Structure 1
Amino acid sequence: MWISVKFQTVGGFRSSEMVLVLVLVLQQLLVVLLVSQHALGLQVFEGEESVLLPCEVKPSVSSGSTTVWDRDDFRIPTVHVREPAGDYLKDQNQRYEGRTSMMEDALQTGDLSLTLRKPTFTDSGTFTCTVRRMGEDLHQGTVELQVKDPPPPVWPWVLLGVLIPIVLLVGAAAVWYYRWKKKHTAVLQSEIVEIREGVKSVLLPLKANRTFPQDVRVEWTRSDQNIRVHVFENSQTQPQEQENIYKERTKMRAEPLTTGDLSLTLKSPQLEDNGVYKCVVYRAGDLLLKKTVTLKVKESLMEEVEVSKGEDVVRLPFKTLDDLPEDAEVVWSHSNKTDKVHEYKNGQDQLERQNPEYQDRTSMNPDALMTGDLTLTISDPRLGDSGIYICIVYSSDGKILRRKIVTLTVRVYKVEKVSVEEGKRSVVLPFHATRCLLSEDITVEWRLSDVKDIIVYKYQRRHHMPAEDQVYGGHTEMNKDPLITGDLSLTIRDLRLTDGVYTCTIYDENGERLQQKVVVLIVRGLQIVEVIKGESSVKLPFQIQRLENKDIRVEWTQPDSKVITFENGELQVAKKRNFHRSSIEINKDLSSGDLSLILKRPGYKDSGLYKCTVYSGQKIQHQKMVMLRVKEPLEGSFIDRLRSLKRSRTSDISSQENVPLNSSLNASIHPA
């Protein structure tokens, strides 16, 4: 319905022009007012000098802590870090360099708000404020920031001619106009989201700043391919309507119609997900809202691959866009080895100058350049294959078109976690061996190898030899014909199960180790603690009821050695560990029940499985296992990470070739 209104000329200007200008002015004021009252986050116009992201805690929480502002939707998420010694910006995402600041006394006052200067469209998203002390998160809050297009400029000469009575007369009309426009405007500002392949998920943002009726239909589609990505109707997701490649990969937030947040989370984004995504909201066939988001997934620069010795093949992934020229050359090389690992040119493998170690063991897809899948397959992976692999794609004139780095770790054993509920008295420790290794001359040994190293079952030259240990004797069993089935699993029956690390090893007739597997048995669940290298300390938590018995001994151990023993108020540190007394802390008042272990200045060597056992005399009273993971700083430069990986892989290869299982278990157990 259109309304026809006649306007008269006032002072040389048509009153209709003045009304429109006033509408724009009042609209701008109302937008600012709405921004200040927005309950779900912050809105700011692009071009503003700065925006303040609020985060406040009690001074007792912030004092002596580390505050981390980050964004999970970026490959390099760190926005700003404030430590007790000051700002730590070495690992900051480059797009925020020189644009962030916090109050000088932030940690003393608890006002941890972040000032972000010159906000742009790419700053739209969820910012997380985390307060961490000694490896524990004390506080975490989020701020939703939306950076919008600035409103159209208002002509100064028109404002000078606006009279107060006219403002009063058209005020009501301006409010009505704003509400009408908000209700009927269907197109939101389009956005571009850029990420690198390998991130866990990506958010396609859409915040309507309004509520919707419960009978609307929300449709996310790929407009460049005309396929459905996600459908929300009748207040629930409709998975039967989405394309198969997106099943179980998409998710919308809770109560999207109530909050107006129709953003879509896409899990495990790949290069194939590049494209234009459109969200439309319908009600009874009428279009209420529309927005497009362009997703750009860039190739990951580096990936890590792990495989166990004895596997048939390992694949070093490299998928890129299918726009490579037909005469391009693909070269895979190893950073520590001469000659090429694999070369592909003119649609064929070129193996004349291949390193002899890889002869007859490498292959690529015949149509690699056409599909963009440059993945290298290595058969029969060996310990010596571990290291850093570099793939470079050259044009016919020698120009580098693509580059990818893949780090490969070949372990001598497999690792698997088995969990059982408290009170269970039997469990199966699985091990299905490689069939080609099974012969009548082999020996199979199952051992308990975390604190004390004992044989719990042995199978030698077709003879079953159950354990004679006082605890496990008569309670362990293997399949009757393991050589036929290849199933070397161990069954433990009629025992009160406790946490433990078990190893199964296959030996040939000369005692040479053919294959090995580690099974971590977890009762009551396994707690995982993660810390970034460079933190001042990390806490391995263990809290029990108050201890009344004074004859108590507490031992924190790792699978290959004791870490510390605390008894009669004395702390003893294992000599063969790299710990110093000053780098370990434990509560000396055992009666409090807090048996947590604090490691100061944790490094990569500290990663691994820790077990705390509480003894009363020789009887075990309590046990708990904690997995510690010391991670690379997420924002470390690519070159720094590459050098670090190169050093660690070199040392890992030599240690795995010469040192038994327990010496390398610490940094290799990664339970599911």
Structure 2
Amino acid sequence: MEVYAGEKSILLPCQYSGFPPEDDPAVMWTRSDLDPKSVHLLQKGGDDLSGQNQHYSGRTSVRSDALKTGNYSLTLRNPQLTDSGSYTCSITDGREEKILRDLQLQVKDQQVEVKVEEGSESVILPCKTPPDLPEDTRVEWTRSDRKLTIVHVYANRSNNPENQHCHYCDRTNMTNSLLRTGDLSLTLKYPTQRDTGGYICTIYRDKDILRQKVVLQHVKAPFPSWVTALLVFLVLLPVVSGGLLFHFRHYFMSLIPVEVEVELGAESVRLPFKTTKNLPADAKVMWERYDPRKMVYVFCREPDETEQHEDYRDRTEMNEDPLTTGDLTLTLTQPRQEDSGEYKCLVWRRGDFIRKKSVLLTVKVIQVEVEEGAESVRLPIKITRNLPADAKVMWERYDPRKMVYVFCREPDETEQHGDYRDRTEMNEDPLTTGDLTLTLTRPRQEDSGEYRCLVWRRGDFIRKKSVLLTVRGLSQVEEGGEEAQVDRLMMRSIH
């Protein structure tokens, strides 16, 4: 019989159709290569484990009615590598022994080999046990080829970064439903050559300690030979088949990021990605922010525990049934300046990605220019109407930080900086209209800089937009006559 180390238990079968001895009958399980050789002893009055080899202490059992039913099978819990050997099932009356069965047990090292290509976004190290684990189950992922390197710890029903090696910080994750499903697999993001080696998944469940081993191999992604052949083919022949052109285009277009620009304050922006129709029904589509890494959106027809980052909650959506249509475009509402960056769309299936695309998003900041000496300048911000009545609008100079203006329906103690007293105003009832534009009178050259409009509610900001103001001094006015100078003194808004 064969079993992997780390399994819950294994049953060593032994059936007897005859009659047991009338005097002092007993069922014996033994291993001749051990001293003492007793694995388990069942007598008429119950188990007698006084002579049991301590290696099996607390791990064996035989049915209490075995002498009546003839079922002398042995249950061996938490099989270990050292349990491998020859087992004998026999019955005795204390004077004579009748051997009923000899069997060979081979306990294999639970080792799974996983290969990951260079440049992959992530890899899954599998580890599974029977479902419905106790709530106090603890799972530790460690390196088996290094001195006590903690890769990931799950304890107290949550992922625990305590004592995690810095090399794995923010790169590992386990599903929140692991106790229910028994899937203790570890997701390792952005694997490198340094991650190659052995990993141990250790499960502390009640009094049992189960271990499974995974070996990760990092391989270089080969440049497809068909691409080289196709390049030569394209040079030699003016016409190629449509199918080859499709694959050629798909391969190289996946390497070229799409650039998307949107103005700060727009209602939404679309991150485009269209691929082949009728993708596998069990595929999973993930949109991920690359740097800093944040999970933006996940689409999966089956229940999935991948957690969306809070920055993107209630701001993202995809078209209906993207796997069928092949349109994996992501719509991001209320784009913010901090949303600028690289986004990657990954299509995963059974631990491997089958499609990927990068999109570079730029959320342009509003820029306003005005000449020193103008009567006023407007810093334009318009957002959704009917903001909460208890919200507070704050205009703040960013660097150096100065409080420019505060609007709040309730009395507020926030103090306006002296540089802006009697020089700022907002339109009437901005919370209702959504027009948070700030008018700054008598702009000075030292007013130049970044201004932020923050909408706060109960200690958290719910909106944030920036305006970059440039106040040009009179010394910067170019030559060109009186008429040109008058034109340059007029406010210019650049969006």
Taking structure 2 as the reference length, what is the TM-score of the superposition? Answer: 0.35
Larger radius of gyration: 2
Q: Which has the higher contact order (CA 8 A, sep 6+)?
A: 2
